[in-house]
Amino acid sequence: MNGFPVEWLHLREPFDHQARSRALVETLVAALPSRRPLRILELGAGLGSGMRYLAPQLPEAQQWTLVDHDPALLAAVGEPPGPEVRVETLELDLADPAALTQEADLVSTQALLDLVSEAWLGALTEWLVDRRLPLLAALTVDGRVHWTPEDPRDTEVQAAFRAHQRTDRGFGPSPGSRAAPVLSGMLARAGHRVSLARADWDVGPGFTQMLSEMVEGTARAAAEAAAGITQPETVRNWRANRLAAIEAGSLSLRVGHLDLLALP
């Protein structure tokens, strides 16, 4: 899987944390064992954003194993988010969930499911069910994107962007915005109790850097996937209009995500 720039991960973290479902975390905490310390396995951990969000809401004594394929990200995780939180990092290619042999009370992840393949989601389901582990998987895109004000080119550009999301990120073709419902169905059929909750980014006009990154990222991905969906000129004009709206202080954005909680 291709890595993400450190700057982008830092930029998105406050939006991630604000969006995540607290109700699902409360349900999770009530179902966790009283073992001390609580053992959490974080997949695709990046800079540890998921840990920083979740750790203050869990029982104090915790042992986190942060798993990622990118050693540079793991090296930049920083200090544990609490005096009774122990953290270790594990550099590992997550191509096969069965390679994970660590003992855990909880598996968590953030912004990962829409990057992997349907086959990988099936392998994750089998691994979770075999070990009777709960999963908290946050911030999976669900295809809902609303720019304000609207632009007549939004539909075409977003269709091309969604097509790009379904490309192979190193795990095989991705289900993209279908990832959370696909995994939900797999886990439910295997006997887990699954809940989904909306976890939307709301990016107001004042957040110009985030808006600019979203415009540039959307335009870049849409241009790469434009064939048969839209035209390069359409993407260029859309981008120019959106950047002008940021400059004028009139652009805002909502990006739909789903949080998923699965309990054995």
Name the phi and psi angles at 155, rounded to 5.
Answer: -60, -45
Q: Any idea what the CATH number is for the domain that residue 141 is in?
A: 3.40.50.150
* Domain-located, residue 151: yes
Rg (CA), the chain: 19
Mean of pLDDT over the chain: 94
Structural domain total, the chain: 1
* Domain-located, residue 101: yes
* Domain-located, residue 181: yes
Strands 252-263 and 193-198: antiparallel
* Domain-located, residue 1: no
Q: From CA 135, how far away is CA 94, in angstroms rounded?
A: 16
pLDDT digits (tens, 9 = 90+) for 235-248: 999 999 999 999 99
Task: Taking the CA atoms of 186, 189, 192 and 197 in sequence, report the sign of the dihedral they define.
Answer: positive
Higher pLDDT pick, 176 / 128 = 128
Q: From CA 161, how far away is CA 226, in angstroms rounded?
A: 8
Q: From CA 179, how far away is CA 169, in angstroms rounded?
A: 14
Residue 25 belongs to what domain range?
A: 6-263
Strands 85-91 and 106-110: unpaired
For residue 20, the 8-state DSSP code is S
Higher pLDDT pick, 35 / 40 = 40
* Domain-located, residue 130: yes
pTM of the prediction?
0.94
pLDDT digits (tens, 9 = 90+) for 211-223: 999 999 999 999 9
pLDDT at 9: 96
